């Protein structure tokens, strides 16, 4: 229809659940929905394609950097392979989420910048402006990362930029045309709501409340050091630093339990052997000057800017918000792997092949078991797996009841959206009925005779002609069970019942 669920025409930010996320990925999904139909494949397929593009782009960047040394001849291949099998990359790129779009566009922009720098191709400045400009429409994190990247490029290569000032001017105009709308909608009240809702510096956060109390005590006791430590600006700096460095924690990067956000069970975001590659790669680049110093600084800034968005928000470390860090880790790890490979050439000419194949095979077996076997069973509730069967049942049962009331809590979180998805309600018809009233996280919705709302079962007056659908934990004790829906682990998740 050219409008979102609230009736806004061609929005740049989707109100969604009142979190106002960039809309570009949704626009990319539309052709796939048209060709394939509305199902999980069509929603996720663009992200899968983007993941393949990102692997190829990192290969291209690796080939550019390989020109600095014969020992880096296969950097493109090794870096691309590392990214292609990365648990971090596969997990996020298989979600229908906009983070992978921002990730890929940023890699494309960096590749264009390196073509300008290393291949002396000035028109690549314009392409860099296009890709990096579009990345701001791709994912919120890029709105902080891209300005840092561009400022670093100009500072490091200001002479080259002045020499190609005409191309730079064209690139700047293109970048502004693409980004001004994104910046404008972001700085509006609604656009800032996402940052306000996830800010790590909220006055309501316990650390700030405690610091305020400590500051008052220190002030009363005339404790200068206490006042400095508990000063709000100092506390902000402490929170930022703690959040930022948490993304370089070896435990977070290389280890995992059975259930962590955006992680394959029992795996880290990276394989343990990548730690050796990253350390050796950093030593090679920083100490032995294996790469031109300015190029090295640009790549390091690219990597170090990755955790910045996650450092100013809650839930740090955050794999999705710090996703831009991954390609630099893959490149650095690739350099380290090649260096180790070179060092083992004489003592283990053939043995290194056996070691490499064993490590690679073992890593892929671990990933296969964790991602394809353990993950679907242990975390199907996180993806609201039981909702699909629930909605199929609700659709079939609808004619038999005057009204159907669904909770929007726990396993039925945002149940109205699943109903729209699985019933494939015509968007124009939905909008004619009033569309979405409020996204929120616990707001009520109604689609003809089906209601979606928070329910206090102790106060809800059950009616005989109504079907109720609730999370098994919330459902009242006295009811007539019509159906029960389970997650892949066999646990009951959702229950349908009547009076």
Tens digit of each residue's pLDDT (9 = 90 or more) over 73-91? 999 999 999 999 999 999 9
| Long-range contacts, 55-60 (Cβ 8 Å, 24+) | 55/80, 55/83, 55/84, 56/80, 57/104, 57/107, 57/108, 57/111, 58/83, 58/107, 58/327, 58/330, 58/331, 60/111
Residue-wise pLDDT for 462-479, tens only, equals: 888 999 999 998 888 777
* Nearest C-alpha neighbor of 217 from the set 230, 201, 203, 236: 230
pLDDT value of position 49: 96
Supply the angle between the helices 326-343 and 293-305 in degrees, to the nearest 10: 130
Confidence of residue 304 (pLDDT cuts 50, 70, 90): very high
Q: Are 146 and 308 in contact (CB under 8 A)?
A: no
The answer, yes or no, to whether residue 373 has pLDDT greater than 80, is yes
Task: Please work out, in degrees rounded to the nearest 5, the angle formed at the alpha carbon of residue 414 by the alpha carbons of 26 and 318.
Answer: 65
Summarised one tens digit per residue, pLDDT across range 237-246 is 999 999 999 9
- Average confidence score pLDDT of the chain: 91
pLDDT digits (tens, 9 = 90+) for 331-366: 999 999 999 998 888 888 888 899 999 999 999 999
Q: Do residues 474 and 490 lie in contact, with contact meaning Cβ atoms separated by under 8 Å?
A: no
* Greater model confidence, 225 or 173: 173
Percentage of residues in the chain with pLDDT exceeding 70?
98
Cα(193)–Cα(89) distance, integer angstroms:
28
pLDDT of residue 402: 93
pLDDT of residue 100: 95
Q: In whole angstroms, what is the distance from residue 119 CA to residue 160 CA?
A: 12
Distance from the Cα of residue 371 to its chain's centroid:
18
Q: Would you place residue 17 in the very low, low, confident or very high pLDDT band (cuts 50, 70, 90)?
A: confident
Number of Cβ within a 10 Å radius of residue 210? 12
Q: Residues of the chain with pLDDT > 90: what percent?
A: 66
pLDDT the model gives residue 235:
86
Tell me the sheet residues that pair with 389: none
Residue 361 pLDDT: 95
Q: The whole model's pTM is what?
A: 0.93
Count other C-beta atoms under 10 Å from residue 458's C-beta: 6
Distance CA 117, CA 159 (A): 11
Q: Tokens 């102790």 sit at which residue?
A: 458
pLDDT of amino acid 348: 81
Give me the pLDDT at residue 189, please.
66
Instruction: Give the tokens for residue 43.
Output: 């929603």
Whether pLDDT at 190 is above 80: no
C-alpha triplet 40, 44, 47: angle, nearest 5°: 180
Q: Would the pLDDT of 203 be above 80?
A: no
């Amino acid at each position: 229809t050219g409008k979102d669920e609230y009736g806004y025409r061609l929005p740049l930010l989707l109100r969604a659940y009142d979190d106002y996320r960039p809309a570009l990925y949704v626009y990319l999904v539309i052709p796939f929905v048209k060709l394939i139909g509305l199902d999980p494949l069509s929603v996720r397929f663009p992200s899968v394609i983007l993941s393949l593009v990102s692997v190829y782009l990192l290969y291209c960047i690796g080939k550019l950097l390989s020109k600095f040394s014969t020992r880096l001849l296969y950097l493109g291949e090794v870096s691309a392979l590392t990214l292609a099998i990365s648990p971090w990359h596969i997990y996020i790129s298989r979600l229908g989420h906009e983070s992978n779009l921002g990730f890929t566009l940023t890699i494309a922009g960096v590749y264009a910048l390196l073509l300008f720098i290393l291949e002396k191709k000035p028109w690549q400045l314009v392409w860099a402006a296009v890709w990096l400009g579009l990345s701001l429409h791709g994912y919120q994190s890029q709105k902080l990362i891209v300005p840092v990247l561009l400022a670093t490029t100009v500072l490091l290569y200001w002479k080259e930029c002045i020499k190609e000032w005409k191309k730079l001017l064209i690139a700047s105009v293109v970048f502004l045309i693409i980004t001004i709308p994104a910046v404008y909608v972001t700085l509006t009240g609604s656009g800032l709501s996402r940052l306000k809702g996830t800010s790590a510096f909220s006055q309501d956060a316990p650390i700030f409340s405690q610091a305020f109390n400590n500051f008052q005590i220190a002030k009363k006791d005339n404790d200068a050091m206490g006042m400095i430590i508990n000063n709000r600006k100092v506390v902000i700096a402490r929170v930022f630093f703690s959040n930022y460095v948490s993304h370089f924690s070896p435990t977070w990067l290389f280890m995992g339990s059975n259930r962590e956000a955006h992680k394959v069970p029992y795996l880290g975001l990276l394989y343990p052997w990548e730690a050796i590659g990253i350390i050796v790669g950093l030593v090679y680049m920083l100490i032995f000057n294996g790469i031109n110093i300015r190029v090295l600084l640009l790549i390091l800034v690219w990597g170090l800017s990755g955790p910045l968005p996650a450092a100013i928000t809650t839930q740090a470390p955050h794999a999705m918000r710090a996703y831009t860090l991954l390609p630099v880790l893959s490149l650095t790890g690739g350099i380290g792997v090649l260096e180790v490979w070179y060092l083992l050439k004489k003592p283990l000419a053939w043995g290194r092949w056996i070691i490499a194949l064993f490590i690679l095979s073992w890593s892929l077996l671990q990933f296969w078991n964790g991602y394809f076997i353990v993950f679907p069973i242990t975390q199907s509730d996180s993806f609201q797996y039981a909702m699909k069967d629930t909605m199929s049942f609700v659709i079939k049962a609808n004619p038999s009841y005057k009204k159907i009331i669904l909770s929007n809590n726990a396993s039925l979180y945002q149940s109205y959206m699943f109903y729209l998805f699985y019933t494939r309600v015509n968007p124009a018809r939905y909008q004619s009925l009033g569309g979405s009233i409020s996204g929120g996280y616990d707001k009520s919705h109604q689609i003809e005779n089906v209601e979606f709302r928070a329910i206090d079962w102790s106060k809800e007056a059950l009616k005989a002609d109504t079907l109720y659908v609730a999370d098994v934990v919330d459902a009242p004790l006295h009811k007539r069970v019509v159906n029960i829906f389970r997650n892949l682990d066999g646990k009951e998740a959702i229950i349908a019942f009547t009076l």
